[in-house]
Amino acid sequence: MRLKFVATIFFLLLILKGYPTSTIPCTKTLTEFFINLNVTGTIFTCKILYTDNNAGTYLTTQTALVNEVFFGSIDSDTITISSQGYNDSYVYPSGGGPKDTVIRTYEIGDNQKLIYTWGDGHKFGYGRICAAHSKSINNSPEVVNELNMLRQFSSIVKNKKTEYFIFYNSAKKIVAEGNFKNGVAVGLWKNYYDDGKISISSPVEDGSLRMRKQSVIDTFLNLKSEIDFEHHFTKEYYPNGFIQNYTLTKKHKVLYIGYSQSSKGIPEYKEINIKHDTIDFLTDYWYFGNGKPHTISTRKEVWRRGTPVSQGGYGKYQEFYENGNLKLVGILEKDRRIGVWKWYYENGIFNAKFDYKDGKGTQ
């Protein structure tokens, strides 16, 4: 269906089912969302018919007419949208919730917006999830390109296409490239910053005809992320080209490494998560600026009703000097020091030891 932007109010609604508010990957681009299959739910445009502001609350209810459905299914042409607010300000929620929780609310009136939301059937909501990424919908090149990209993704999935695809932004620069097989992303995918893969046409001479022709040459590559579905790893990069983080996911193990933005390839933090049926053991590595370890310790988490519950520090604990020599070593149990702990001087020579016994000993 052809979109008419003039005097029409459209909302592009991304329903992100299954993601708690705190874990939505808000820094992901649209292509990264879809390639990762992180987004499930319903995606559509609609025209707002009328708005009901509930006095004394942050809740606003709108009735809308569905225009174009990209993903999912809707059981009615007319739907209800409930928001968390109706102004462009930050408010702290009353009655519960973490003290640092902030809800961003938007003036919804008759503006055209791109909204990240949740819901199904004919009742939907928005306002909390990735609200900072919401934007006006109009006939600007960026918005038109985003809608066209949604149509392209929708066609790939619905028609289960198998092909190598390249996605472009409104400036005709590549933002993602990789393979789909039967409508599912496979192999290695590369995502670029908007100022990323720049193609410049430069003249070359034909050796036989001595005629000048145009040859497209890729002169710059500003990689944002690599997603390898075959080997189960993801790499993300800073805008300066340095690696930002690396994640490797296996059945019972997840490895994550975070890197310095100012020093190429120098780790700042590493986590190894060993998963059992209901217990996770997470080993944390913190590093000095020179890339040598500062501390190495392990935590224990027990899963209860789908939620990890911390059991504190468990197992071996180590601290190091910046020169790499061991400073302190001992055993933790529920964050308590137990058994014999040892201290060393910066030159590596033994300093002292103390027996905490079963955790009740005091030094």
Separation of alpha carbons 23 and 80, rounded Å: 26
SS3 of 141, please?
Answer: helix
Tokens of 94: 């009353």
| pLDDT band with cut points at 50, 70 and 90 for residue 86 | very low
Residue 68, Cα to own-chain centre: how many angstroms? 26
Separation of alpha carbons 106 and 87, rounded Å: 4
| pLDDT band with cut points at 50, 70 and 90 for residue 172 | confident
Mean pLDDT of 317-329: 98
Q: Does 2 have pLDDT greater than 50?
A: no
Separation of alpha carbons 15 and 69, rounded Å: 12
Q: Which residues pair with 189 in a beta bridge?
A: 227
Closest CA to 119 of 78, 154, 86, 72: 72
Tokens of 24: 């939505």
Separation of alpha carbons 17 and 90, rounded Å: 24
Contact 114, 131 (CB under 8 A): no
Q: Does 357 have pLDDT greater than 50?
A: yes
Q: Does 251 have pLDDT greater than 70?
A: yes
Tokens of 223: 């990689």
Q: Does 116 have pLDDT greater than 80?
A: no
Give the pLDDT score at 190: 93
Tokens of 255: 């490895």
Give the pLDDT score at 267: 96
Helices (H) and strands (E) in the chain, counts: 2, 24
